Homo-oligomer: A and B are copies of this chain.
């Protein structure tokens, strides 16, 4: 197996070597800018890992891996417009630094560039890889749309929420892995097990994010605890609480949702309601269930355990238990 740091190096070098035209500057500068903001580059590394599990040639998977990273950054550029986000990785977002029209068009060009990269996959794999890539890309759009829909919906079920985060974030992890597996020549069943590993891990990771936003250590977590509570974001926690709360607890929860002028008290009060309803335990239960499902898919792949160890390690490192 190729050590994780070597795969990360391959991805970083590959990103460094991507070259785009200089003109028109307003089209290609934002693309270079958002790619320069960094990030964990997890998705392209997953593509290389997905290839390496099956002892494939990771260099052959590199263009597809880079395509996935460019695609991911395209979605960030457009999502930032839609979410009206001023900052991305502590730097101005593209639509803030330039303007919305430039962020729309530059994002479009970025998506085209991502297709061109994925199309550089080997002949034997290219059609299947593009099928996974474009199906995943559509699903990511669907997830973002559901996320926007949910903001104005009065009732969202837990299943709807899980499906939304599956589409919005998890399928791209699964798709990244599967693209690598296909390039390595894995059969459909094995490639799908790897996909399901990625998707279930991705949903578990997102649930962890929901939990940490309320119960995490602010220093370790790196962002303000309680942000989701303040913005009334329909997370797994809030939806579970709304589902299970009754009587005065429910009245109190609804009242705090409508409160905007006492932020500190709101975070404390809603957290207390969550505690009284065992919401954290429910969320952790679901998270662990999905994590176990993810690992069982990895177990089902008939290759040496040594080949799967890097993915097991990665999965474990993503699930940082805080207690």
Flag whether A113 is at the interface (Cβ < 8 A).
Answer: yes
Q: Give chain B residues whose Cβ lies under 8 Å from the Cβ of A119.
A: 127, 130-131, 134
A184 to chain B, nearest CB (A): 20
CB 8 Å contact bits of A145-187 with B (1 = contact, 0 = none) = 1101100000000000000000000000000000000000000
Contact between A146 and B108 (Cβ–Cβ < 8 Å)?
no
Flag whether A316 is at the interface (Cβ < 8 A).
Answer: no
Flag whether A301 is at the interface (Cβ < 8 A).
Answer: no
Contact between B130 and A112 (Cβ–Cβ < 8 Å)?
no
Contact between A111 and B109 (Cβ–Cβ < 8 Å)?
no
Contact between B112 and A148 (Cβ–Cβ < 8 Å)?
no
Flag whether A318 is at the interface (Cβ < 8 A).
Answer: no
Q: A115-B130, A123-B127 are in contact. Are A144 and B82 (CB under 8 A)?
A: no
User: Which chain B residue lies CB-closest to A126?
Assistant: B127
Contact between A116 and B134 (Cβ–Cβ < 8 Å)?
yes
CB 8 Å contact bits of A95-138 with B (1 = contact, 0 = none) = 00000111011011101110110010001001100110011011
Contact between A24 and B112 (Cβ–Cβ < 8 Å)?
no
Q: Give chain B residues whose Cβ lies under 8 Å from the Cβ of A148.
A: 26, 101, 105
Flag whether A78 is at the interface (Cβ < 8 A).
Answer: yes
Interchain CB contact (< 8 A) of A113 among B100, B113, B130, B138: B138
Q: Give chain B residues whose Cβ lies under 8 Å from the Cβ of A78.
A: 104-105, 108
**Interfacial residues of chain A within 242-270, with CB under 8 A of chain B in the complex:** none
Interchain CB contact (< 8 A) of A115 among B24, B27, B81, B134: B134
Interchain CB contact (< 8 A) of A27 among B112, B134, B135, B141: B141
A166 to chain B, nearest CB (A): 14
Q: A82-B104, A109-B138 are in contact. Are A145 and B115 (CB under 8 A)?
A: no
Contact between B82 and A105 (Cβ–Cβ < 8 Å)?
yes
A131 to chain B, nearest CB (A): 7
